[in-house]
Every structure is written in C-alpha cells, then in structure tokens.
Amino acid sequence: MNRKLAVTIYAGTAIFFALFFVYPIWHTVKEAFVTTDGKLTFAYIGEIFQNPVYVEGLVNSFYMGLFTTILSLLIALPLALLANTWNFKGKEILNSLILVPLILPPFVGALGIKQLLGQAGVLNAFLIDLGLMNAAAPFDWLGEGRLFGVVLMNALHLYPIAYLNVSAALANVDPAMEEAAENLGCHGLRRLWRITLPMIMPGMFAGATIIFIWSFTELGVPLIFDFTRVTSVQIFDGIKDLSGNPFPYALVVVLLILTVAFYLIGKWLFGKEIAVSSGRAATGRSLRNASPLMNAICIGVFVLVTGLAVLPHLGVILLSVSNQWYGTIFPSDFTGQHYFDALGHPLTLNSIGNSLKYASLATVTNVILGIAIAYVVVRTKLPGRQFLDAMAMLPLAVPGLVLAFGYLAMTRQGQLFDFLILGENPILILVIAYAVRRLPYVVRSAAAGFQQTSVTLEEAAQNLGCPPLKSLTKVTLPLIAANLIAGGLLAFSFAMLEVSDSLILAEQQQHFPITKAIYALVSSLGTGPHIASALGVWAMAFLAITITGAGLILGKKMGALFRV
C-alpha cells in the first residue's frame, strides 16, 4: 500500500469521525454548558438534579439498565454453562435459535408483550378462564409505571449478547484451571463460584456493558409501553421545543456522563483484566455427552428460553391477523386485511420505501468506510492507526440516543450542518446516523477478512505489475467478499429497524422510516395497532431474509460480530 494513499484514507476517515461523531456530541455538550450570551454555566445541569421529574427519569433509566443487564445475565449464564459442558441432541440448531431474539425488533415485540401481559391480555384471560383470577379486578402484570414490562422485553431481546460473550469467555478458560480445582476438592457450584465465574468475569463484563448502555438509554420499548418517566423518553419529548430550551441538551449530557461513569465504576468493580498465565493449555475443552436426563434438561431450557423470547413476536403476528382481541386467550376474530392495509396505507408503503432507501445508502457508506478503516488498521504501519480502530469501535459505547440528539441539534436551522437537511428531507443525516452507529460491525468483519488474507497475495499482484489500489480491488476484496457482505447485511438489517435516530430525525410524515411509521400507527386509534403489527411482521420477514442470508454466508462466524 502506498503511504500517501494510506494517509489520505486515514485523514478522510478521521475527518468523517470528527464531523459526525465528535462534533454532534461536542455541540450538545456546548449547548448544555453555555448560556445564550456565551457564558459558561453549570446551572442547566444543576437544574436537572433539582427537578424531581428529571431525577425520577434518571433513576428509572438506571433501573431499566441495571435490571435488564442482570436479567439478561441470569438468562444467558445457565444457557452458556450448559452449552459449554454438555453435548446434547440438536445442539447446533438450538445454539443458533437462541440468538434469534437479538435480530427481532424489541420495539415491535413490545406491542406483543402488551397484548400478552396487559390487563385485558392473554395471560389474564387464561387465568380467568382457569378460575384463578377475578375477572372484575384483573392483575396488572406490567405494573404501575410499566418498568417490569420494559425490562422483560429488553432482556428477552438483549440476552443473546450476554450469551455470546459468556460462551466466548468460557471457551477461553483453560479446562485445566477447572480440573485443578476439582483435583483439590472443589466441585460443582462451589467450583463455578470460586474459579469459573471469576475467570470469565471480564468477558461477562464486556457483554454486560453493551447491554447496560443499550438498555439504559433505550427509547423505543418504553415509548411503546407509554413509560414516560425515563430520561430517554423525556429527551424525546423535549425535542418538540428545542429552540432556546437548554434542558434537553443538559439531559443528554447527564445521560452521557452517567453512561461513562457507570461504565468506569463497572470496569473498576468487575472488569479487571485477568492476564492469563504463560503456559499453554494441555487439552482442549472436551464436552461430555449428556445422559438422557441431562439431554432433556438442556433441550428443555434452550427451547423454553427461545420460546419465551419469541413469544412477544408471536403475539405480534397474532395481533396482525386479528380483528378482535380483547380479554381473550386467542383473537376472537381473524382477518388478513391488515396486511393489505399495511401495504396500501400511504404512511406504511412510503415508510418501507424510505427505510429501504436510507438503509441501503447507509450500508454502502458503511462498507466503503469499513474497508478503508480496516485496511489502514490491518495492512499499514501508520502511527496512530490503533487510535482510528478505537474510534471506529466507539459508537458501540455511546448511546444511540445521544448521537441522534446531537445530529438533530447540529442540523437545526441556523446551525453549521443545516445544509444536510435537503428542504425538509432528512435523508442525508439519517444515512450518516445509521452508518456511524453500525460502523463497528462492518469494520470488525472487514478487519477479520484482511487478517485472514495474506498480504503476499496482493504483493504477488503488484510484483506482476498491478498498481496497489487495483491489486486491492482485484485480489483482496473478492477474497474477503463474504465478510463484507455479512457485515453489510447486518448493518442493513439494523438500519432497517433502527429506533432512536429514526424517531428523532424524521419529522415529516412523507420521510418516515418503518419504525417511526409503526410508532405513529400505534398511537393512532382504531385499527392502528393492528396495522402497526402487520407492518412489524413485514419488517421481521425482511429481516429474517437478510439475516438468513448473512448466516448462510458467514456461517458460525456470525457470533463474532457481537463480541467486544
């Protein structure tokens, strides 16, 4: 690679990050600390902590993040332990099914949960039918404030991240570490507690971090649950009057600061890097063949968890084909009409087109940036390339809501990036927002491809007279096409169902992406929720196809994208 080209790519990507990652955050921070006449102030931040509504929102957000993380770990840990100890029947397929919930949009699933656990929902109807509940005073499972429902939905969506991280950490533990404990008399749960858990703690922490950041600032699920007393929703509501109002900015900054603070505290408490001793593992981890009983337990637990996790989405499917579903176990009247409505409705058809447009452009941007960054990081010796790598991974650590808000703030009228809004069309900023958020996945998969492809192949091409850039496109890129396609598909499917950027940045109905259309439909009366469900099912069908494609191309490496 010629150095000039590398430096150009480096500079280009660095500028992109400065403009669309650092600047929006900086812009928000500035608004939160500077008064209209340009003086530094801490009054706005201080005000947040004075206002009981905001404090309650922060506390609820913290609970939402904390309980989601704990519940996700509680679901994932037994699964990972079982899968890393036993060989059981159907393990291959169960092991991939267990990851499915990650790609089901929780925003859509929340509709289903409401239907299942609401006061007039399926569970209550079932209990009333059995005579276990008084029909006149049904129990409200989602509880006052609906924190329970939000946490449940979030955890059922995010536990695969914990599962992947814990599994990877377990696979890296030298089995001799556990055998040594066994050999000295430490067995079973005690061994798990004294040896295994401490050793996988860094891996668990990595997974927990992603889950916490994700759920601490989750917007879509609490919105659907009408759970308004969380900071994310308060920020979303605050967007309606941004001019001259510093509090949404201050809230975003507080959220960002707290995210970083919780991350650091967590890192200090749990994430201490454990340097592995120098000796090499004598044996690979050998899995035991499960006895019939153990087989049944393993299969049962996997099926149960997967089933629970897809239940909300099954509810959505039922909701989408039902005419009447109130206070009964199954819908009392079925119809296919909503699917046609969902495709015929001007709002929905438009939104599908918009989402396809936004997501494809974002994916193209992602792949180009991903190749460029991965190339510089893996194939050059430029000083500071690790910095670029770290930068490309940072969007994983910054809440999507914070970035989305930053984009909104910096493209408002009269601001520096106002020109990115074409008339009223947010397409450019939405594409950039989608691209930045999902860049880590694409960089990760492209970098893996470059690492697996020997540089000598390119050198051979250059040696035969092919110029550097051409040898990259003619030799290496075709070889790593599978990685790029997989990373791209993943970015695409996440972009199709992205929530915070979509809800915040798309303001005009004709520019709504799918998620915003669903949100608008849910809050409308009549058949709105049913049409929203039908639209959600269309979206999930789209996703299923893309993800299956990615899975076929990438095979087992799929999981590697979600590890940190």
Partner 1 sequence: MVSIQIRGLVKRFDDVVALNQLDLDIQSGELFFLLGPSGCGKTTLLRSIAGFHLPDEGSIQFDNDDVTNVPPHKRETAMMFQSYALWPHLNVFRNVAFGLEERKVNKAEIKERVDEALVMVKMEGLGTRKINQLSGGQQQRVALARALVVRPRCLMLDEPLSNLDAKLRIEMRGEIRRICKEFGLTAIYVTHDQKEALSIADRLAILDGGNIAQVGTPEEVYRRPRTALVAGFIGETNLLKGEVAFISGENVYVKTSVGDLAGRPSDPQQVPEPGTAVTLSIRPECLSIETTPPARNEIAGHLTESIYLGEVAQYSLQSPGREEPFHISELNPRRVIRDTEQKLYATAKPEDVVILPDS
Q: Tell which one of 43, 176, 296, 460 touches partner 1 (CB under 8 A).
A: 176
Q: Which of 43, 180, 264, 422 binds partner 1 (CB under 8 A)?
A: 180
Does residue 174 bind partner 1 (CB under 8 A)?
Answer: yes
Q: If binding is defined by CB under 8 A, does position 170 make contact with partner 1?
A: no
> Dihedral sign, CA of 494, 497, 503, 505?
positive
Q: Does 187 bind partner 1 (CB under 8 A)?
A: yes
Residues contacting partner 1: total by CB under 8 A: 27
Pick from 4, 40, 132, 183: which binds partner 1 (CB under 8 A)?
183
270 contacts partner 1 (rule: CB under 8 A): no
Q: Which is nearer to partner 1, 40 or 275 (CB)?
A: 275
Provide the 8-state DSSP code for 475.
Answer: I
Residue of the chain from 199, 404, 490, 518 that contacts partner 1 (CB under 8 A): 199
Q: Which listed residue (43, 281, 368, 416) binds partner 1 by CB under 8 A?
A: 281
Nearer to partner 1, 281 or 541 (CB): 281
Which residues lie across from 322 on neighbouring strands? 334
> For partner 1, which residue of 47, 56, 140, 179 counts as binding (CB under 8 A)?
179
Of 397, 395, 68, 21, residue with least CA distance to 206? 397
Kindly write down the DSSP assignment for every residue of 198-257, as one continuous string: HHHHHHHHHHHHHHHHHHHT--HHHHHTT---SHHHHHHHHGGG-TT--HHHHHHHHHHH
Q: Which residues have CB under 8 Å from 424's CB, separation 6+?
A: 507, 508, 511
Interaction between residue 70 and partner 1 (CB under 8 A): no
Q: Which two tokens stand for residue 431?
A: 């594409």
Distance CA 241, CA 286 (A): 60
Nearer to partner 1, 191 or 345 (CB): 191
Please give the span between the terminal C-alpha atoms of the chain, in angstroms, as a whole number.
28
Verify binding: residue 277, partner 1, rule CB under 8 A.
Answer: yes
User: In degrees to the nearest 10, what's the CA dihedral of 430, 359, 108, 161?
Assistant: -100
Considering only 25, 45, 102, 195, the residue that binds partner 1 (CB under 8 A) is 195
- What is the C-alpha separation between 280 and 174, in angstroms, rounded? 8
| Cα–Cα distance, 477 to 471 (Å, whole number) | 9
Please choose, out of 185-193, 325-333, 457-465, 501-509, the segment that lies near partner 1 by the rule CB under 8 A. 185-193
Cβ–Cβ < 8 Å for 54, 234: yes
Candidate list 22, 81, 97, 177; residue touching partner 1; CB under 8 A: 177
Q: With contact defined as beta carbons under 8 Å apart, do 212 and 65 qualify?
A: yes
CB of 202 to partner 1, least distance (A): 10
Please tell me the number of Cα atoms within 13 Å of 414 on its side-chain side. Answer: 3
Minimum distance between the CB of residue 206 and partner 1, rounded to whole angstroms?
16
Strand, coil or helix: 279: coil
Cβ nearer to partner 1, comparing 201 with 397? 201
Amino acid identity of 553?
I
| Smallest separation, CB 272 to partner 1 (Å) | 8
Among 198, 300, 467, 555, binds partner 1 (CB under 8 A): 198
**183 vs 456 by CB, closer to partner 1:** 183
Cβ nearer to partner 1, comparing 204 with 254: 204
Min separation Cβ 284 and partner 1, Å: 12
Pick the piece of the chain touching partner 1 (CB under 8 A) from 195-203, 365-373, 390-398, 480-488: 195-203
Residue numbers of the site for partner 1 (CB under 8 A)? Answer: 174, 176-177, 179-187, 194-195, 198-199, 201, 274-283
